[in-house]
Structure 1
Amino acid sequence: MAADPIAVVPDQAHPSGPGHRPTPAPIGSPGAFVGRDESAFHRACDPRVFDWLEHVQAAAGCSHPIRLSGEVAAIDRATGRLLASVSTADLPDGEIYKPCGNRRHAVCPSCARTYQRDAYQLLRAGLAGGRGIPATVTQHPVAFVTFTAPSFGTVHTRIVKRHTCGNRRRCDCRAEPCHPRRASDPTARPCEHGHPAVCWARHEENDPRLGQPLCLDCYDYDAQIVWNHAAPELWRRTTIAITRHLRARARKLGLPWVEQVTASGRVRRVPPVKPSFGKVAEMQRRAVVHYHAIVRLDGVNPYDPDAIVPPPAGLGVDDLVAAVEHAAATVGFTTRPHPTQPAGWRIGWGEQVDVRPISADGDITDGKVAGYLAKYATKSTEATGHVSRRLDGEVIDLYANVHGTHPERLIDACWNLGGHRDWQMLRRWAHMLGFGGHFLTKSRRYSVTFRILRDARVIWRRTEGGHEYADQPADDTTTLIVGLLSYAGSGWRTTGDALLANTAAAMARERHEVAREEVLAAA
């Protein structure tokens, strides 16, 4: 359904320009600005309001669009001749509106939705083919893997042993008791700080206690922060271990190595198998990262190193599952020393590692996996109750408190550990609770790139989408589009502009969803 347009109006506490608000000017002229209470009325009464709505259509749903001014020119590549030119001074407001492109749903729902759909196409193409990926990838052994972090202290959790709900997103199944203990059990005694180690509550899905430690003072915040920070390196070592295990398996089966000719003409022998990865990071409610990954087993083409071919006969999904399980159980390393931990912290995966094969007709299908991972690609620390921009010494006291809430203690630990010169990067990622990696990554050969998907969308807008440059030549081989643009500001110029633009975008999305549902019903 359409998003509430009121929820995406600009934050009036932050200026929309590079340093100050623009001065008032008549509506319809470049640099127009009116008062907050009357801006929507004046914009709606402007005779060019529909031209303005069409002009901002590309960024209409964005919470904080980027405004650019200058000139866009189309140049013939062969002769250098100027074919066409459009100046932003001739456009409504004298500026071009560009979506902010933020992937986080809590920051910009509209741009996050676009990112999520691109992520779905990217991940699914590596499983089902299409968009330049051969359809033969459906014949490759593929596994869906979940890597979790170890425990840093007991937290409130919700466990459902048997789901009877039809939709896991709105699960209302009866949960098991959180942490039940018998009175005679020694672990049921209160901790040294006097907090109970037992919780008989059957937590609901929206219970704010979920992810919170039973005792804040017993929780190992330093170890969790360091683990979040080291998670990307742990993932890198895991992919290496999976690759080595598969190569050893191929050697044991007697599969011949492949001879490839390099660009310089040299012949090299390479293993006949190569795994490809697509990975998404999820921030759990307890504020620790865990990974969902797609691992696909590929072969090697002796004539084209970039070609995606099936693995050699003899290597199957069981070998892939065994390689992942072996890597998850054995990979680990110790961090560099820190004054508070001279021996360093031991980094490794938790005990809960789930490996499931993906099949076209089973319970775990390519569409379900791609949708599941794409959903988490737009989330961040909001699941923990903390949302902020990058922190510095001037604002850290607003978010860090050694005696505060769970997120506040994590930020405090991150900032204190980052005070050492060899651990300064922790302070840079304090707003991310120590995690400084990418939330979605993939192997080069796994699938297409975001850039390819975005370029295809730009071409469609310029040629078919009713863009103001649709009448210009679209052949990139002969025509070069040059944007001589400069940054003019960010955010909507007025609250009224945001309200009108986002309302129009919400209505368009609702019509699109209705049409999509009707097409699916007719099919």
Structure 2
Amino acid sequence: MSTPLDLSRPGLAAGRGAQVLYRAAAPDFFGWLEHTRPAGGCARPIRLAGILAAIDVDTGRIVSEQHTDQLPDRALYKACGNRRESQCPDCAWVYQGDAYQVVRCGLTGGKGLPASVGRHPVVFATFTAPSFGSVHHRHVRRHSCSTRQRCDCRPDPCHARRTAGTCPHGLPAVCFARHGADDPRLGQPLCLDCYDHDHQVIWNHFSGELWRRTKQAMDRHLAAHCRRRGIPFVRVVTAAGKVRWLPPVRVSHGKVAEMQRRAAVHFHCLLRLDGVDPDDPDALVPPPAGITIDDLEEAVHAAARQITVTTPEHPDRPEGWVVAWGEQVDVRRINSASGELTDSMVAAYLAKYATKSTEATGHRSTRLTADTIGDYADPEGDHLARLIHACWRLGRPTHNATATGAATTGGHQGHLDDNPNPYAGLRRWAHMLGFGGHFLTKARRYSVTFGLLRDTRTTYRRTEDDESTASITVATLTYVGSGWLNDGDALLANTAARQRRESRRIGREELAHEAWLAGAAA
């Protein structure tokens, strides 16, 4: 997003100021503002060119046609839709709102989901990565602050030990500093040479597979409880006419990945217990009475302890790497009597991390190539440079065309990947420090989809000003470029977008206040 005018740089300020004055003095300035409204706050909108045709709904005939050459700037503007706040704050703001609705609807219902899901047992679980070496950290044993977002409590010493020893490389293995929340040393290894950078990027890369098998283990654990307690399985007839016997309970999840300062991902998961309707397997029904939230918590801890994934062989490590969860697995109940976590708090928390990427580590880059990898990777560099180098080195082409991997999942053996080089993705995702998964995922039955929310918003915008549905607009467009034509246009469009957002925010607050007054008066 464009920044305010920097008057300390007269040349730049004068150029941008001249662009603003030129655009604002144009006769069609307000028409241009309305034209750019769909992408008004976007940092780098997409410019499209082509033909817009209005088609009669009843007859299918073309009522009118318009070429984008007749529009301001001879193009149609569309928001880029980037979810990353560091790349486009405005599009990330829209994505965060959608993510909030996706997560919260799975907890309270709404937007097509029954309100009864709000009575299903739900836990909020956090799965962390194991330790790959000692890093500087900030730990507060006892909090006395009113809010963790602005915590000013005194932390414990980082790595305090009675005997000040050294690592095999001669560096101190202790740290008595009480790190502040913004200390740049947080997440950095005490000794870069002792730290296992290879294992960390491997863990990031295969963490998605570890989560998938952990989720399966939870379902198996609950199914075993049903067998022991005599809860019958559900008979379901598939669309092909085959009969299947399904466990009467299943776990639906919504999951967000968070990149820690040490550049290892961990997962925040909402896990909801659902039942199975034999007449409609897709229906959201409560779990059977014999399965409780205690069983769900037990299944989470059991799966986290038991499940590991052994990666395929690699020339640098023929036995592969073991990928497992760290010791810290936190499980909390939602909307419990303590009131510590509510559905709104958790939904806002997950939606916030859905727009993040690697910003917490200090690394920001687009996808790396052979021409750009040298700018970021260094086997003798800092923590991030060594992680990126490990991704590039381990993801190099190998001659193990028959390499496959077996994974241990609670006693079950299975092939992990039949790709001749299952590590090739490390180079593709080197800019993400090995993690190639989506930052927000959910089970199909957990909640509504992003597509449904976007379609609903598009339909509302089309009918906001004109309720007539006699015609629809069909566009034949091609890509002509991205970004605003100049900094002055970006400043004007983004400023107008911020004003519209602020007006909507104030309007929502006024409506909420009026509703509160009406309720108090009643």
TM-score (norm 1): 0.89
Deviation at 1:471, TM superposition (A): 6.5
Q: How many residues align?
A: 484
Residue number among 269, 278, 289 corresponding to 2:254 in the alignment: 278
- Tell me if 1:133 matches 2:101: no
Task: Assess if the C-alpha contact under 8 Å between 1:99 and 1:111 holds in 2.
Answer: yes
- Give the corresponding residue for 1:431: 431
Task: Assess if the C-alpha contact under 8 Å between 1:8 and 1:502 holds in 2.
Answer: no
Distance 1:8 1:326 in 2: 57
Partner SS state of residue 255, structure 2: strand
Distance 1:92 1:166 in 2: 52
What letter matches 1:6 in structure 2? T
- Give the corresponding residue for 2:446: 446
CA 1:511 to 1:163, structure 2 compared with 1: closer, same or farther past 3 Å?
Answer: farther
- Tell me if 1:40 matches 2:20: yes
Residue number among 105, 113, 122 corresponding to 1:142 in the alignment: 122
Equivalences for 1:69-148 in 2 at 5 Å? Answer: 69-76=49-56, 79-148=59-128
Partner SS state of residue 496, structure 1: helix
Partner SS state of residue 269, structure 2: strand
Residues 420-467 of structure 1: CA deviation (Å, up to 9, x unaligned): 432221111100000011111111000000000001111111111x4x
- Give the corresponding residue for 1:268: 244
- Tell me if 1:309 matches 2:295: no
Residues 249-274 of structure 1: CA deviation (Å, up to 9, x unaligned): 11111111112232234433222111
Residues 109-147 of structure 1: CA deviation (Å, up to 9, x unaligned): 111111011000000000000011100001111110000
- Tell me if 1:500 matches 2:492: yes
Partner SS state of residue 6, structure 1: coil
CA 1:459 to 1:249, structure 2 compared with 1: closer, same or farther past 3 Å?
Answer: same
- Tell me if 1:6 matches 2:3: yes
Residue number among 181, 201, 206 corresponding to 2:182 in the alignment: 206
Task: Assess if the C-alpha contact under 8 Å between 1:253 and 1:314 holds in 2.
Answer: yes
Residue number among 160, 167, 190 corresponding to 2:166 in the alignment: 190
What letter matches 1:513 in structure 2? R
- Give the corresponding residue for 2:158: 178
Task: Assess if the C-alpha contact under 8 Å between 1:84 and 1:472 holds in 2.
Answer: no
Distance 1:266 1:480 in 2: 43
Distance 2:479 2:208 in 1: 34
- Give the corresponding residue for 2:355: 378
- Give the corresponding residue for 2:459: 459
Residue number among 166, 174, 193 corresponding to 2:146 in the alignment: 166
- Give the corresponding residue for 1:248: 224
Distance 2:197 2:154 in 1: 31
- Give the corresponding residue for 1:342: 318
Equivalences for 1:464-479 in 2 at 5 Å? Answer: 464=464, 466=465, 470=466, 473=469
Identity of aligned residues (%): 58
Task: Assess if the C-alpha contact under 8 Å between 2:219 and 2:251 holds in 1.
Answer: yes
- Tell me if 1:61 matches 2:38: no
- Tell me if 1:406 matches 2:383: yes
Q: CA RMSD in A?
A: 2.0
Equivalences for 1:479-498 in 2 at 5 Å? Answer: 481-498=473-490
Distance 1:172 1:443 in 2: 38
Residues 194-253 of structure 1: CA deviation (Å, up to 9, x unaligned): 211111111111111111111111110000010000011001111111111111111111
Distance 1:78 1:109 in 2: 41
CA 1:396 to 1:5, structure 2 compared with 1: closer, same or farther past 3 Å?
Answer: closer
Partner SS state of residue 340, structure 1: coil
Distance 1:264 1:332 in 2: 35
Deviation at 1:79, TM superposition (A): 4.0
Deviation at 1:369, TM superposition (A): 0.8
Partner SS state of residue 260, structure 1: strand
Distance 1:69 1:472 in 2: 26
What letter matches 1:239 in structure 2? K
Distance 1:511 1:131 in 2: 25
CA 1:224 to 1:328, structure 2 compared with 1: closer, same or farther past 3 Å?
Answer: same
Distance 1:157 1:102 in 2: 31
Task: Assess if the C-alpha contact under 8 Å between 1:8 and 1:108 holds in 2.
Answer: no
Residue number among 25, 29, 42 corresponding to 1:49 in the alignment: 29
What letter matches 1:434 in structure 2? G
CA 1:208 to 1:5, structure 2 compared with 1: closer, same or farther past 3 Å?
Answer: same
Moved more, 54-63 or 160-169: 160-169
Partner SS state of residue 346, structure 2: helix
Partner SS state of residue 252, structure 2: strand
Structure 1: gaps spanning 5 or more residues: 10-33
Distance 2:204 2:39 in 1: 34
Residues 70-96 of structure 1: CA deviation (Å, up to 9, x unaligned): 122343466432244443222211211
Task: Assess if the C-alpha contact under 8 Å between 2:2 and 2:487 holds in 1.
Answer: no
Residues 36-68 of structure 1: CA deviation (Å, up to 9, x unaligned): 562212111112111111111111111000011
Moved more, 110-119 or 156-165: 156-165
Residues 272-310 of structure 1: CA deviation (Å, up to 9, x unaligned): 111111100000000001000011110011111111100
Partner SS state of residue 216, structure 1: coil
What letter matches 2:286 in structure 1? P
CA 1:409 to 1:242, structure 2 compared with 1: closer, same or farther past 3 Å?
Answer: same
Residues 17-50 of structure 1: CA deviation (Å, up to 9, x unaligned): xxxxxxxxxxxxxxxxx96562212111112111
Distance 1:457 1:152 in 2: 45
What letter matches 1:436 in structure 2? G
Partner SS state of residue 416, structure 1: helix
Distance 1:131 1:162 in 2: 41
